[in-house]
Chains A and B, each alone.
Chain A
Amino acid sequence: MEILRFIATRAALGVLTLIAVSLLLYLGTQLLPGDVASALLGQSATPEALAVLRAKLGLNVPAWLRYLHWLWGVLHGNLGTSLTSGTPIASALMPRLANTLFLAGYAAIIAVPLAVGLGILAAIREGGILDRVSTMLSLATISFPEFFVSYILIVVFASQLGWLPSLATVYDGMGFWDRVDATTLPALTLVLVVVAHMLRMTRTSTLAVMSAPYVETAFLKGLSRSQVVLGHALPNALGPIIAVVALNLAYLVVGVVVVEVVFVYPGVGQLMVDAVSKRDLPTVQACGLVFAIAFIGLNTLADILAALANPRLRGRRGR
């Protein structure tokens, strides 16, 4: 009962956050200079053409009313139509969302086990060679900007060695392995960028509980260091590890615009950037909503999992 109520509360809070985010997004896009009509016509806009296009796109309706219309549509599963292409947003968004999730999933499958595994190993052999090397390398990769890591990978693996393509263009009807081949370089870039954070967190939170009295007891029982870490320290350190993994998974979905641009990957980020520059408000809103759902959803999930992993948390947060 307790846990169900906890989940319900978290979910309700998530929905509220989503509505707040959509409102902020809307206000933010309203602050952008110019509107879709002037962005569409660009340098070649005449006042007459602007007026015609504004009327056609319904931009003469007050902003708050347009927001309510939009919200009403979304609640009924209708994301609206794009102001620039006139086609339903869902049809442009969904394939791209699938692409984004594919790339995020590919990166996560490599990054999460790698980071958590290395983090635990580093904690077991604190101060050892593996600990120091992994710390140094992961800090180095996180310190470089993503586009720099991307270009280095392109130069080495695409231009010099010719092993992997530098263009990650994927399309409908592409075979699974072709898709994997095309997205390997961007996925590797993302792995290098997110591994450090998770690795450090796993190592630190495991080591943090190593000073607790029950760990000392475990050592006194005669258990080896790896038994203590895996059997006693790790379960208690799981909460923060889950949180940081969720945060990084969310980043893999929402924060990859730069990588998409460098590798020309048709994901949601690129769609959103195009939409912002064209002031295609409904598309920006839809992309923002998708990102917000991914972010809030993963964080809510992390909260719930962390609570399940630690009954004490569940009791305190539920009320």
Chain B
Amino acid sequence: MWKPNRGTDRPAAGLDRRQFLSAAALAGAAAGLSTVSLIGEARAATEPTQGGHLRLGMSGGSTTDSLNPTTYLQWVPVNLGYQIMNGLTEIDANNKVTPELLTSWEAKPGAADWVFDIRRDITFSNGKTLDADDIIYSINLHRGKSLSPAAPELAPITDVKKLSANQIQITMSSGNADLPFILSDYHILVVPNGFTDWNNPIGTAGYVLEHYEAGVRCIVKKTRPYWKTGCANVDSIETLTINDVSARTAALLSGQVDAINRLDARTVDLLKRRSKFHVIQSAAGQHGVFVMNCTDAPYNDNNVRLALKYGIDRKQIVETVLKGYGHIGNDQPIPVTNEFYDASLPQHAYDPDKAKFYLQKAGQTNLKVELSVSDVAFTGATDAAVLFQQAAAGAGISLSIKQQPADGYWDNVWMKAPFCASYWGGRPTADQMLTIAYKSDAPWNDTFWKVPDFDKLLLAARVELDQSKRKEMYGQMQAMISSTGGALIPMFIDYLEAGSNKVHGMKPNAYFDFMGQRIGEKVWLS
């Protein structure tokens, strides 16, 4: 059977719609289905139809959620946020940064001084016209002593100045060529200047909040034409929090919701056989990691780290744990969907002889290590660890697995146990991913890998405005992490979501599922 986008040879961006449809048609044909409905869908897909009530069933919400963008930690509030409010910039399906409320931008050399133009003639749902003050207020919610998870990203910003009603200037203490990417952060949503009523957020997006019960249900309604063309097609959206994957799937199958996120990889193939539904697979930046502390014996010896990197069968893990819905990692965190991904980097593969060679070099012929895992690190972490254990035994490494409680894992195990499972969600830019977890002084440098040359390169690449030079620099950094870092990255995990055939316009996204959490305004119903 045809298996979509596996391996490292796939195109740099997600599948576009036509590619996906032909892929889906192939998959359908392989499953012995008529392709008529898919062709019919392709025809309907060209022109969005208006109206209808869209029902989303989502994991990633709880009763403790709030619609205040500075508190977003889970996906349901992010999705609701985008139904009501707009961001500053948007990452499109091809992984490029495109305008949203900021329409154009320009950086002075050094990338520390930026001027942004603000979209004209659009209003908030309370009638106020959007201007620079609203944008500045909304950015400042995430600056200074803010508890917002976006605050560290914005920390280098020293000033946000109003140039005119439709123009602002952002000054940074150190340059960053990726500022427009950083401003696409899903926490930075725009509300009117001085706004604080987070139980009822006011935004410029297509829908207005009608009813919200955290962790249960949210209803939004369209009350006016939307400024973004071809978007906000349905009249109303109902978002239900359904954290249990079986319950979510049952709700889709019984027709109580139109689309669900986070499918169970083990049952996706069964779902694909049903002709009434279509499955969307997105290659994404989220990856599982086995983290080694580079300052702790025996992991302080790079030969030991290399031995472990060659002692794991990544292919088997992707096939077994992810049922093929993912792709092999190469011990560096930049995904194939990123423009700076270096495809020429040699792939670490399962090679017991090489592992033994590095063990000998380290003088560790009888290496015994203990790996702490919990499925809270990433789904299937325990299964992956068991497969790792088998493969490592073949390379002469005795790996014992310590099952840790899911509760309190990030507090008590991660960054404390010298060898443990962890994960990183995708970051929109290479700089963000490398800064957050690999820079020497990063608070979450969970491998304790400290290389001054790497830090220098990272800072130089950040302010470099020449894309080809940047690509070369990021390539070098990927090679450094892959060959000497403490992160053993077995796999990148694809997002899987499904919709009924009534829902049109669902597409893969390179970073977050449900079309970067903007599914509400993108799809339409037949």
Contact = CB atoms under 8 A, between A and B. Distances in A.
A114 interface: no
B243 A261 contact: yes
Contacts of B407: 32-33, 277
A44 interface: yes
18 contacts: A32-B407, A34-B408, A38-B411, A41-B73, A46-B443, A155-B250, A158-B254, A165-B256, A167-B251, A169-B217, A171-B216, A172-B213, A261-B244, A262-B246, A264-B240, A264-B242, A264-B244, A270-B63
Given A266-B213, A266-B216, A278-B64, A151 B246 contact: yes
Interface of A: 32-34, 38, 40-47, 49, 52-53, 82, 84-85, 92, 151, 154-155, 158-159, 162, 165-167, 169, 171-172, 261-264, 266, 270-271, 274-275, 277-278, 280
Query: Which secondary structure dominates where chain B touches chain A?
Result: loop
Given A85-B214, A262-B247, A159 B253 contact: yes
Interface in B250-288: 250-251, 253-257
A43 B423 CA distance: 10
B410 interface: yes
Interface of B: 57, 62-66, 73, 145, 147, 149, 151-152, 211, 213-217, 240-244, 246-247, 250-251, 253-257, 405, 407-408, 410-412, 414, 443-444
A44 B427 CA distance: 13
Given A33-B411, A266-B213, A266-B216, A165 B254 contact: yes
A43 B244 contact: no
B412 A33 contact: yes
Contact of A52 (B73, B147, B244, B256): B147
B215 A49 contact: no
A38 B411 CA distance: 7
Contact of A33 (B152, B215, B244, B408): B408
Nearest to B64: A84
Nearest to A263: B247
A280 B64 contact: yes
Contacts of A271: 63
B465 to A, nearest CB: 29
A270 B241 CA distance: 12
B428 to A, nearest CB: 16
A171 B215 contact: no
A171 B217 contact: yes
B250 A38 contact: no
Contacts of A274: 62-64, 215
Nearest to A258: B244
Contact of B215 (A40, A43, A262, A266): A266
Contacts of B243: 261, 264
A171 B247 contact: no
